[in-house]
Amino acid sequence: MKNRNQLNNCLAPIVISLLIFIFVGCAALEEAQQRKQERTRQQQQERYVTFERPTTEIQMAEDGLMLESEHYTFTFAEDLLTHPDYDEPEERQNVGRGALLFMESLYSYVHDIFGFEPEHQLIVNLRQTHHGSQHLATTSTRTQTVYRNGGWLKIVQGIEMDFPVTMFNQRDVRAHELTHAFTNIYLLPTWFTEGIAVLVQVEYARGKSFRRLDLHEDLKTDLDGRNAVQYWEGHLSRDQLTEWRYSYSYSIVAELKKRFGEGFYPTVFRLMEADQLHQRLPGEMTTSFLAYYLSQAAGEDLVPFFEELQFDVRRITKEQIMAAIMEANQDQLGR
């Protein structure tokens, strides 16, 4: 954390011994916190495996086309209605009910990991194919830009998740997509948003699709010599480079979690939430902007870490972020 106290070399001995005492106290406290975090993590994993069902109320339409629970609206797309497993209202009600009980449990699980939740109810659409594919699930967040208190602000209008049945049946894929539903509101760089989603998918939901890579030996760069995950824009195709991008992004995110502990990402999101600057940026967050918050949460400058991995990244201050936002506002007003 930014305000973490550091020992000052010029202090008188008596003060040093006092500080050492405090330091030891802090170390013990940190250990206790780590133990607590480890316990919480174990409990979360056990809960995930035993698939504990929360008591949740589910409202359902008589035709079974739409069901609602506390955090979700669940629908069946038209292309499923001729499928023999979903063509009767009762079948849809049973499938929808089971899906919502599981998704509510997953919701509180992801909420526990990050410490925040989306403001909106999540819309989940189950379908036979999505964009013509049975192997593509997406989570999209609709935002609207409004002028408020002298500046432009991105406001989330709704979050929608689309799953072909084959993807919905994989629990780790649901965990991946639900992580997007939670984090999309921060308009993070694609590499980071996918890295976080794969982290939850692999390390918490025990998915087997991606593996940790060596950040130096397995590094790939683009033609400009920059890390090939940095300007990744999306994941609609699944070629070899895309597979590498998922795994490499996950490896960066996992490395930072290993270095700075379980509480690191909740702190990153808490700091971003407190400033609300992501909402005022003209576009997607840049890696330099993200590195600012990661460094704040880590209590150390992480720009050298990213430079070593061939990221095109700059050390920026909050004043520079504010100035860039002001400039973008003026551009938008001048249009």
Q: Which residue is nearest to Zn ion (CB)?
A: 197
Decide the pairing of beta strands 66-68 and 72-76. antiparallel
Name which of 269 and 292 has its Cβ closer to Zn ion: 269
Q: Are 309 and 219 in contact (CB under 8 A)?
A: yes
> Mask 135-154, x = binds Zn ion (CB under 5 A)?
--------------------
Smallest gap from Cβ 214 to Zn ion, in A, equals 22
**Residue 321 CB: number of other CB atoms within 10 A?**
20
We find the least distance from the C-beta atom of residue 176 to Zn ion, in angstroms, to be 6
Our measurement of the distance from residue 136's CA atom to the centroid of its chain's CA atoms, rounded to an integer in Å, reads 19
Using rule CB under 5 A, residue 67 touches Zn ion? no
Pick the closer one to Zn ion by CB: 92 or 245: 245
Residues in 241-300 that interact with Zn ion by CB under 5 A: none
Q: How far is the CB of 96 from Zn ion (least distance, A)?
A: 24
CB nearer to Zn ion: give 45 or 209: 209
C-alpha 247/C-alpha 198 separation (Å) is 8
SS3 state at 66: strand
Kindly report the CA angle at 46 between 42 and 50, in degrees rounded to 5? 175
CA 90 to chain centre: 35
Q: Residues near 178 by Cβ (< 8 Å), separated by ≥ 6?
A: 103, 106, 107, 110, 122, 139, 161, 200
Report residue 229 CA to chain centroid gap.
Answer: 16
Nearer CB in complex with Zn ion: 197/309? 197
Beta pairing class for 72-76 and 122-127: parallel
Which value, in Å, is the radius of gyration of the alpha carbons in the chain? 22
Minimum distance from CB of 190 to Zn ion (Å)? 9
The residue among 72 and 232 lying less far from Zn ion, judged by its C-beta, is 232
- C-alpha 210/C-alpha 249 separation (Å) is 10
- Looking at the Cβ atoms of 197 and 297, the one nearer to Zn ion is 197
Q: Is 132 left (phi over 0), alpha (psi -120 to 50) or beta?
A: left
Q: Output the smallest distance, CB 135 to Zn ion, in A.
A: 13
Closest CB to Zn ion among 197 and 253? 197
For the chain, how many residues are written?
Answer: 335
Q: How far is the CB of 194 from Zn ion (least distance, A)?
A: 5
Q: Which is nearer to Zn ion, 151 or 231 (CB)?
A: 231
Q: Nearest distance from residue 90's CB to Zn ion, in Å?
A: 33
CA nearest to 232, candidates 140, 210, 137, 243: 243
x-marked contacts with Zn ion along 181-210 as a string, rule CB under 5 A: -------------x--x-------------
Smallest gap from residue 27 Cβ to Zn ion (A)? 38
Contact footprint for Zn ion (CB under 5 A): 194, 197
